[in-house]
Amino acid sequence: MSDTAMTAVRIHAYGDASVLKYETGVPRPVIAEHDVLVKVHAVAVNPVDWKIREGYMKDYLKHKLPLILGWDVSGVVEEVGSAVTTLKVGDEVYGLAPMAKDGGYAEYISVVATALVQKPKSLSHVEAASLPVATLTAWNSLFDIAKLQAGQTVLIHGAAGGVGSMAVQLAKWKQAKVIGTASAKNAEFLHSLGVDEGIDYTAVPFEDKVKDADVVFDTVGGETLSRSYAVVKKGGVLITAVGQPSDEEAAKYGITAVRCGAVTSEQRLTEIAVLADAGKIKPLVQTVMPLIEAADAHRLSQSGRTRGKIVLQIV
Ligand SMILES: NC(=O)c1ccc[n+]([C@@H]2O[C@H](COP(=O)([O-])OP(=O)(O)OC[C@H]3O[C@@H](n4cnc5c(N)ncnc54)[C@H](OP(=O)(O)O)[C@@H]3O)[C@@H](O)[C@H]2O)c1
């Protein structure tokens, strides 16, 4: 292979996991003046990856095919653009690359330098890659939108999942009271994360256990979202990571209902790195797979039954 080529997993068409093609001889990305070239060591698999692969977001993101998925990356800076001042060759970095461009299911990714910061020193690349989307989404929900305070009660739906498990840890760090939903097999896991009360949503309707929560963070959507308005206290906040909340329902219950996003910045990624290095939040990587198994990683993510995160290890 020439030194301008690399191995990557690309999609040439939208469809099921079989459209993920492991390929050699893929052109190595070329950087512009504000970009860095990163040798990718690890990339997380997020549900958004398979949603894009299925074509659910094609009208909104308007990607050109072939496309490399996977934007939660950790790796080492190999080249820097002429206008980059914050990073240098050899830096170990992590962050959330912009989804408008090719991602990191590849040996190399070109990323605008402002999307990356120094990797948490105490974490491996696999652990660091697991953090951005999940932690930034939980942060945006609990702190930017809900302004969660110590002593408040927050109900987190999908508390064993990638986003939910980081939300539990951030809420406990803020000294909130945390109630989390998951199926029975995850009861012990929720306990290990520090939830004050776990609810097996397959056995009991959460409405039987929760009334007047200050904040509800929904990472499940659908019926879970539509049933959640009623358990938020008047003046409280319902945030969802999935779907669009209803203004009418929110007005009916006298609450605020908002959709969250993975809002990123260098400052926030650095704050997350500091918390991780201090042991205040822990990466929760359930499954590590080689790049060549990206299709199986997607099937696993799409099952909706994973605990913590799935990460592809490249180096
Ligand atoms: N808006 C945004 O910017 C944004 C950002 C990040 C993620 N998201 C979206 O948020 C969703 C969650 O993401 P994720 O990475 O956390 O997904 P994930 O890791 O795949 O979530 C899997 C978890 O969901 C739990 N679950 C499934 N159904 C449940 C239910 N009815 N009640 C409670 N828990 C349930 C499962 O627990 P059991 O196995 O115990 O059922 C499993 O642990 C995805 O749809 C993703 O696309 C949106």
139 and 238 co-located in one domain = yes
0.95 cut: is pTM over it? yes
Task: State the distance from the centre of ligand 1 to the C-alpha of 212, rounded, in angstroms.
Answer: 23
**Residue 3 pLDDT:** 77
Task: State the distance from the centre of ligand 1 to the C-alpha of 220, rounded, in angstroms.
Answer: 5
What are the pLDDT digits (tens) for 174-197? 999 999 999 999 999 999 999 999
Name all residues whose Cβ lies below 6 A of ligand 1: 46-48, 133-134, 137, 157-158, 160-164, 181-183, 186, 201, 219-220, 224, 241-242, 260-262, 301, 304-307
Task: For the beta carbon of residue 112, count every other beta carbon within 10 angstroms.
Answer: 17
Query: Please, which residues bridge with residue 106 across strands?
Result: 8
115 and 137 co-located in one domain = no
**Residue 142 pLDDT:** 98
203 and 230 co-located in one domain = yes
User: Is residue 87 a part of any domain in this protein?
Assistant: yes
User: Which residue's CA is the closest to the ligand 1 atom numbered 44?
Assistant: 47
Query: What are the DSSP calls for 208-224, one per residue?
Result: GT--SEEEEEESS-THH
Q: Residue 264: what are its φ and ψ, rounded to 5°?
A: -115, 155
304 and 191 co-located in one domain = no
User: Is residue 170 a part of any domain in this protein?
Assistant: yes
User: Is residue 25 a part of any domain in this protein?
Assistant: yes
> How many Å is the maximal CA-CA distance in the chain?
63
Rounded to whole angstroms, the Cα distance separating 209 from 60 reads 38
Dig out the tokens for 313 from the structure: 């290890």
Task: For the beta carbon of residue 62, count every other beta carbon within 10 angstroms.
Answer: 8
Rounded to whole angstroms, the Cα distance separating 222 from 243 reads 7
12 and 124 co-located in one domain = yes
201 and 295 co-located in one domain = no
In terms of residue numbers, what domain contains 230?
133-259
| Count of alpha carbons within 13 angstroms of residue 118, beta-carbon side | 10
141 and 104 co-located in one domain = no
Cβ burial of 151 (10 Å; 0-12, 13-18, 19+) is exposed
Query: Measured between alpha carbons, how far is residue 225 from residues 22, 211, 214, 254, 298 in Å?
Result: 37, 15, 16, 16, 24
User: Is residue 20 a part of any domain in this protein?
Assistant: yes
Give the H or E element holding residue 30: none
Q: What is the CATH number for 53?
A: 3.90.180.10
68 and 166 co-located in one domain = no
**Residue 85 pLDDT:** 97
User: Is residue 17 a part of any domain in this protein?
Assistant: yes
Rounded to whole angstroms, the Cα distance separating 306 from 183 reads 11
**Residue 239 pLDDT:** 99
* Residue whose entry in the numeric block shows the structure tokens 């498990």: 165
User: Which residue's CA is the closest to the ligand 1 atom numbered 36?
Assistant: 305
User: Is residue 298 a part of any domain in this protein?
Assistant: yes
Answer whether 157's CB lies under 8 Å from 216's CB.
yes
Task: State the distance from the centre of ligand 1 to the C-alpha of 264, rounded, in angstroms.
Answer: 20
Residue ranges for the chain with pLDDT beneath 50: none
User: Is residue 22 a part of any domain in this protein?
Assistant: yes
User: Is residue 269 a part of any domain in this protein?
Assistant: no
123 and 141 co-located in one domain = no
Q: Residue 232: what are its φ and ψ, rounded to 5°?
A: -90, 135
Which percentage of the chain shows pLDDT scores above 90? 99
Task: State the distance from the centre of ligand 1 to the C-alpha of 225, rounded, in angstroms.
Answer: 12
Q: Residue 251: what are its φ and ψ, rounded to 5°?
A: -65, -40
Per the structure, how many domains does the chain have?
2
